[in-house]
């Protein structure tokens, strides 16, 4: 018989977040970078890429990619901060993108797409990012979810292949710490630190700041020393 306490314990176990950085992160990242990822690219991803390809390739501007941009607040912010660049905000959620406040204007655009496909299509087209932002990606904090985090995912080589200076922000220090370990395993030096900001640039950053969470940022130059990405 399953008691109410058993059920609560089960629920608790199910939800327990990871308590410390995982040691196998380096191994997982290195393995992904030595393996060709054969996941097919969806037809809608190819169509989404085609919709912006011309604009990006004709712009002559440095390219900033804001992956998993949610409502695109950060995309708008980056476009204002880097007026000479073209900023591409990517997210798979039509619902989030529809809540964008602001007009996509001369130097930014938002696109609904799965970045796991978009990154590969962009690399195949010969694109290089100047900067790449990944702000508050889903943390997948349960130990069993390590391969869903971007640095443990088979999509990691596709992210690395686009180059650029990568900036990742998170409210979970392990995520930043493990990301640095994963990058180190493929020859990219990155550093993470706690940041203090009073002017949030994304929806999640606003939420985390309001509830007093600590925020962390890692920065690494993907143009230097990416080892073995296929
Ligand atoms: C926690 S939210 C953060 C959104 C935004 N960067 C912010 O800070 O407010 C994570 C976002 O990642 C997006 N996402 C997750 N997996 C994705 C994928 N494979 N391709 C594109 N977007 C994805 C989700 O739709 C969601 O908007």
DSSP string, 190-219: EEEEEE--SS--SHHHHHHHHTT--EEEEE
Using CA atoms, how far apart are residues 119 and 114, in angstroms rounded to an integer? Answer: 9
Q: How far is the CA of 90 from the centre of ligand 1 (A)?
A: 8
Q: Is the CB of 203 under 6 A from ligand 1?
A: yes
Domains and CATH numbers, the chain: 21-221 (3.40.50.150)
Q: Which residue among 75, 92, 116, 145 has the greatest number of ligand 1 atoms within 8 angstroms of its CB, and so is best to mutate?
A: 92
Residue 106: name the closest of 76, 68, 71, 69 by CA. 76
Q: Is 164 in the pocket of ligand 1 (CB under 6 A)?
A: no
Residue 117 Cβ contacting ligand 1 at under 6 Å = no
pTM of the model: 0.91
Residue 98 to residue 110: CA distance in whole angstroms: 10
Distance 198 CA to ligand 1 centre (A): 22
For position 148, what pLDDT does the model report?
A: 96
Closest protein CA for atom 25 of ligand 1 = 93
- Which atom of ligand 1 lies nearest, measured to the CA of 203? 9
Q: Is the CB of 209 under 6 A from ligand 1?
A: no
Q: Is the CB of 115 under 6 A from ligand 1?
A: yes
**Mutation test residue for ligand 1: of 49, 68, 89, 147, the one with most atoms within 8 Å of CB:** 68
In the prediction, which pLDDT does 63 show? 98
Residue 187, token pair as written in the block: 């020859």
The per-residue pLDDT for range 53-90, each reduced to its tens digit, is 999 999 999 999 999 999 999 999 999 999 999 999 99
Tokens of 108: 């930014």
Tens of pLDDT, residue by residue, the chain (230 residues): 333 433 433 444 456 787 777 779 999 999 999 998 999 999 999 999 999 999 999 999 999 999 999 999 999 999 999 999 999 999 999 999 999 998 766 799 999 999 999 999 999 999 999 999 999 999 999 989 999 999 999 999 999 999 999 999 999 999 999 999 999 999 999 999 999 988 999 999 999 999 999 999 999 999 986 654 54
Q: CB of 139 closer than 6 A to ligand 1?
A: no
What is the C-alpha to C-alpha distance for residues 174 and 183, in angstroms, rounded to an integer?
A: 14
CA 228 to centroid of ligand 1, rounded, Å: 27
- Cα(6) to centroid(ligand 1), Å: 34
Copy the structure tokens of residue 106: 């001369």
Beta bridge partners of residue 228, listed in sequence order: none
Ligand 1: atom nearest CA of 137 is 10
Question: Helix or strand or coil: residue 85?
Answer: strand
Is the CB–ligand 1 distance for residue 171 below 6 Å?
Answer: no
Separation of 168 CA from ligand 1 center, angstroms? 12
Residue 157 parent element (H or E): helix 156-161
């Amino acid at each position: 018989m399953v008691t109410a306490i058993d059920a609560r314990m089960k629920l608790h176990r199910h939800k327990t977040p990871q308590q410390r950085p995982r040691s196998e992160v380096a191994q997982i990242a290195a393995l992904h970078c030595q393996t060709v990822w054969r996941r097919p690219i969806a037809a809608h991803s190819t169509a989404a890429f085609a919709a912006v390809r011309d604009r990006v390739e004709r712009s002559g501007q440095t390219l900033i990619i804001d992956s998993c941009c949610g409502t695109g607040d950060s995309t708008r912010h980056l476009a204002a901060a880097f007026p000479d660049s073209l900023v591409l905000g990517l997210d798979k959620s039509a619902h989030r993108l529809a809540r964008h406040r602001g007009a996509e204007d001369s130097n930014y655009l938002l696109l609904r797409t799965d970045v796991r496909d978009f990154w590969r299509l962009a690399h195949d087209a010969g694109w290089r990012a100047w900067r790449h932002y990944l702000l508050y990606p889903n943390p997948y904090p349960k130990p069993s979810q390590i391969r869903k985090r971007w640095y443990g995912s088979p999509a990691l080589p596709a992210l690395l292949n686009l180059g650029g200076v990568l900036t990742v922000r998170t409210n979970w220090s392990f995520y930043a710490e493990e990301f640095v370990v994963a990058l180190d395993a493929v020859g990219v030096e990155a550093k993470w630190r706690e940041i203090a900001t009073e002017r949030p640039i994304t929806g999640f950053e606003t939420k985390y700041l309001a509830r007093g969470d600590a925020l962390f940022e890692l920065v690494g130059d993907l143009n230097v020393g990416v080892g073995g990405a296929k």
